[in-house]
Amino acid sequence: MASPEDPGRRRLPANRPIDLRWRDRLGKEAHARRFLPASWYTPVAGTTVLRKADGTDLAVFAPAAGGLGSALAEGQYRLTFTYRRDNTAIEAGSTILSRAGDRSDEVVTLDIPWSRS
């Protein structure tokens, strides 16, 4: 339970999908999204992510079992990235970033629907 000053945190169910819909001030649906439980995702072996140095673009490569082309089947994928604010243990000359003094790693999760159309 949150105090009057604290808005609290909303918790989504961990065992079933949840549909969220945002509406504008007139009640018209503006955006809808389905979120799947983490347990519904399976790792895709051998996948490589190539990220632009400034973090603005990325490409996902999956090994194809057959001929040329993507081996990713249509569906929803969850990408989890770890941004190392202090990467000096791996790359000594790297820039150290912080957020309000916090230099710990930041984990970001993106859910991406994928279709060939």
Residue 5: inside a domain, yes or no? Answer: no
DSSP 14: S
Q: How many domains does the chain have?
A: 1
HSE-CB for 71 with a 13 A CA cutoff: 12
Name every residue whose Cβ is closer than 8 Å to that of residue 107 and which is 6 or more positions away in sequence: 80, 81, 82, 83
| Assigned domain for 49 exists | yes
Model pLDDT, residue 96: 92
Cβ atoms of residues 108 and 81 within 8 Å: yes
Q: What is the pLDDT of residue 1?
A: 59
Predicted pLDDT at 28: 92
Let me know if residue 64 belongs to a domain. yes
Structure confidence by residue, pLDDT tens digits, 8-31 = 776 777 788 888 899 999 999 899
d(CA 86, CA 69): 36
User: Considering the chain, what is the average pLDDT of its residues?
Assistant: 82
- The domain in which residue 38 lies consists of 18-114
pLDDT at 102: 92
- Report d(CA 44, CA 50) in Å as an integer: 15
| Inter-CA distances, 71 with 47, 74, 100, 111, Å | 10, 10, 41, 18
In a domain, 7, yes or no: no
pLDDT in tens, 48-97: 888 887 878 888 887 766 555 556 778 888 888 888 899 999 999 999 99
